Structure 1
Amino acid sequence: MSLHYLPPVKPSAIALGLVFNQTTELAILSPLFGQTWQKAKQSNTKEEFLRSKEATSAAVAWGTSFLGSGLQSYGVAALINATGTLSYKGAAYLGALIFAASNAPTFFNEILIEKRPLETITASVVAKLLETVGLSMFLTWWGTRTNPFEYANPNRGTPLSRNAFRGE
């Protein structure tokens, strides 16, 4: 596989999308970081704290969240570019499709099989909607294309409507 097949995305869009996602993730991970803060205050030395279970789990949670947010930001921006989405309405539809494909099965499982409390599920749904629909609308507002005039010609169509094997 060549990097040529990965759609180009503005680096600033990825960075701002990462910040956007980390802000929403903070609402979900704040209880874990609260426990970590309490453990740090109770530790006698910083070496004791760094070896604690809370510090390790917080570092792993933040690291995976950071990496996942960056990949999600790139993926959403690449989809915005690949579909030629230019409007907020189109971005909202795209974000809703991403939400439905990636998160809806989990929520149905939590409601019907695991029977989790409705408050927990609602908070999680709101956070995931922000990460999908909110992120796609935010990235549309910021702009994701490295060359915004590339698809401005109405005769050329969107990138998905063109044949990749035909020289244009």
Structure 2
Amino acid sequence: MSLHYLPPTYQRAKAANTKEEFLRSREASSAAVAWGTTFVGSALQSYGVGALINATGTLSYKGAAYLGSLIFLATSAPTYISQIFTEKRPFDTVGVSIAAKLFETVGLSVLLTWWEPAPTPLTKGEV
């Protein structure tokens, strides 16, 4: 004798819950799209910051921090100013988002400066 506390629809859903059905579900496809767009966006951002570091000839961490700060100010500061003054969002919520974006922009530029191999010194015959 067994007691069934859950409705029979739950039993059918549990029996139909297979890996193949999950892979075909909307949740799985939306998760794959979200991960894919995040990956592509991060790759493009890294490429852009690396290209700016290369184009400006930034070799120091201080210069990289300045460059990352400029990227932050140009891309994100207007949004945060609007959230604080126009939308009247709580400062602690906006502050956490600002800290994350600063870490993303300034941290990425400093990391890429650290990652870049040191330039080779020129010899007398090279210009």
Provide TM-score, normalisation by structure 1: 0.57
Question: For residues 125 and 48 of structure 1, what CA distance do their matches in structure 2 show?
Answer: 40
* Counterpart pick for 1:77 among 50, 66, 69: 50
Structure 2, unaligned runs of 5 or more: 1-13
- Structure ID, larger Rg: 2
Q: How does 1:1-168 map to 2 (within 5 A)?
A: 44-143=17-116, 148-149=119-120
1:112 is matched by which residue type in structure 2? F
| Residue identity (%) | 68
Query: Structure 1 138/118 Cα, relative in aligned 2: closer, same or farther at 3 Å?
Result: same
How far residue 105 of structure 1 moved from its aligned partner, in angstroms, is 1.2
Looking at structure 2, the residues matched to 132 and 144 of structure 1 have their Cα atoms a distance apart, in angstroms, of 20
Summarize the Cα distance change of 1:88–1:120 in structure 2 as closer, same or farther, 3 Å threshold. Answer: same
Deviation digits for residues 15-67 of structure 1 (CA, Å, limit 9, x no counterpart)? xxxxxxxxxxxxxxxxxxxxxxxxxxx88112332233332332122111100
More displaced, 111-120 or 86-95?
111-120
- Shift in CA distance, 95/75, structure 1 to aligned 2, threshold 3 Å: same
What is the aligned residue count? Answer: 109
SS in 2 for 1:135: helix
In 2, Cα distance between equivalents of 1:114 and 1:47? 44
Q: CA RMSD of the aligned region, Å?
A: 2.3
Change (3 A) 1:60 1:119: farther
Q: Distance in 1 between matches of 2:114 and 2:21?
A: 46
Distance 1:114 1:51 in 2: 39
